[in-house]
């Protein structure tokens, strides 16, 4: 019990310290790079308003809280999802996770954006030159999670991200770390979560697209290509605290409630809440809402979320099918379809 209390005190101390670190994030809205890291994956979490960092579990928790990967349902879990994102962008995601006895859980995930072809325009050809380019954005992550005690699990994810825009590209690394604490304060069903996301070094674009033809005045030499030095940019880091509660109902019906406070280093604070009702551990209905009170009403485009899920086991194989809906102002609502398999 003493060790558990020490861990909880350390976690709360880190929470206060990180809260001060990100305190002025709203003053730099729109100046971060690597924003592909912010695109959520995981239909259950999206449907619950992205507020489930305290009670997420299994392979679905990779994006929300890597500590939840310590609680896999099977020896090996697979998941695939597709999201209809804003502005006709598609988000494709896949992950695999496995439990290793005496070591913990390992997971590998890949997220890619399908943006499509964009016409190339110039000052002389504002309607297009006839050529096109296709932006490419990809994030690959490796996660390790471990159950420290019956109540406490921890996890960390190291991600490699790359972005290519025509003739320039950038790549970098980001790290996520999370903690899950179940039955907080000896209250059965009360859970606590803490997550630090997208911590990493600055990124910089480079490539032949930054070459410009230049001349040096008063020198007898032909024009030569010189390279422009692009400004570096920081990653959109965030710090999240979450609480969840699962009341004891009966063997057929279940209910989970969750809420999260998110402090961002490049935008205003966010508040997220969600709930999930389960029937016979087979059918699930979810609802959620997220808001940012300090943001202007026209700036924050997210709000209501909802979704459903079906779990079914047959011949030792676990099958999950999930759908999530997220309302988005101006740019078109998001729809997420996910399929998970456990062996």
Contact between 282 and 314 under an 8 Å Cβ cutoff? The reply is no
Q: What is the pLDDT of residue 28?
A: 58
Per-position b or e across 149-177, b if 16+ CB within 10 A of its CB: eebbbbbbbebebbbbbeebebebebbbb
Domain boundaries, the chain: 2-342
3-class DSSP state of 245? strand
Q: 105, exposed or middle or buried, with CB in 10 Å at 0-12, 13-18, 19+?
A: buried
Level-2 CATH architecture, domain 2-342 = Beta Barrel (2.40)
Global pTM reads 0.89
Q: What is the pLDDT of residue 213?
A: 86
The residues, ordered by sequence, that sit 6+ positions from 207 with a Cβ below 8 Å of its Cβ are 167, 168, 169
Q: What is the pLDDT of residue 11?
A: 53
Q: What is the pLDDT of residue 189?
A: 95
Q: What is the pLDDT of residue 194?
A: 96
Element (H, E) at 45: helix 43-47
- DSSP secondary-structure letter at 207? S
- Which of 256, 258, 306 is CA-nearest to residue 277? 256
Each of the 343 residues of the chain gets a pLDDT tens digit; together they read: 555 555 555 555 455 555 555 554 555 555 678 889 999 999 999 999 999 999 999 999 999 999 999 999 899 999 999 999 988 899 999 999 999 999 999 999 999 999 999 999 988 899 989 999 999 999 999 999 999 999 999 999 999 999 999 999 999 999 999 999 999 989 999 999 999 999 999 999 999 989 988 887 777 778 888 888 999 999 999 999 999 999 989 999 999 999 999 999 988 899 999 999 999 999 999 999 999 987 766 778 999 999 999 999 988 899 999 999 999 998 899 999 999 999 9
Q: What is the pLDDT of residue 276?
A: 98
Q: What is the pLDDT of residue 32?
A: 75
Cα 323 from chain centroid (whole Å):
17
- Distance in Å from the first CA to the final CA of the chain: 35
- Which of 195, 198, 202 is CA-nearest to residue 174? 198
């Amino acid at each position: 019990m003493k060790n558990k209390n020490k861990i909880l005190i350390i976690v709360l101390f880190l929470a206060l310290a990180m809260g001060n670190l990100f305190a002025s994030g709203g003053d730099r809205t729109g100046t971060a790079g690597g924003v592909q890291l912010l695109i959520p994956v995981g239909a259950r979490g999206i449907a619950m308003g992205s507020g489930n960092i305290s009670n997420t579990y299994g392979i679905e928790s990779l994006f929300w809280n890597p500590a939840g990967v310590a609680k896999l349902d099977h020896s090996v879990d697979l998941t695939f999802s597709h999201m209809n994102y804003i502005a006709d962008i598609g988000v494709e995601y896949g992950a695999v996770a496995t439990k290793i006895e005496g070591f913990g859980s390992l997971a590998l995930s890949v997220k890619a954006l399908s943006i499509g072809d964009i016409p190339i325009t110039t000052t002389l050809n504002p309607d297009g030159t006839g050529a096109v380019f296709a932006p490419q954005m990809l994030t690959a992550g490796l996660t390790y999670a471990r159950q420290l005690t019956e109540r406490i699990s921890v996890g960390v994810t190291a991600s490699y991200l790359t972005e290519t825009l025509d003739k320039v590209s950038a790549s970098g690394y980001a790290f996520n770390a999370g903690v899950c604490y179940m039955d907080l304060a000896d209250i059965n069903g009360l859970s606590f979560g803490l997550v630090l996301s997208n911590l990493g070094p600055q990124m910089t674009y480079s490539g032949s697209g930054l070459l410009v033809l230049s001349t040096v005045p008063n020198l007898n030499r032909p024009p030569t290509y010189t390279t422009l030095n692009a400004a570096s940019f920081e990653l959109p880091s965030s710090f999240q605290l979450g609480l969840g509660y699962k009341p004891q109902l009966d063997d057929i019906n279940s209910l989970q409630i969750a809420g999260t406070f998110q402090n961002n280093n490049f935008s205003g604070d966010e508040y997220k809440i969600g709930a999930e009702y389960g029937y016979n551990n087979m059918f699930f209905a979810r609802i959620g809402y997220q808001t940012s009170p300090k943001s202007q009403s026209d700036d924050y485009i997210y709000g209501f979320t909802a979704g459903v899920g079906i779990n079914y086991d047959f011949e030792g194989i676990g099958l999950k099918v999930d759908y999530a809906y997220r309302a988005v102002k101006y740019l078109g609502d998001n729809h997420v379809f996910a399929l998970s398999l456990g062996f």
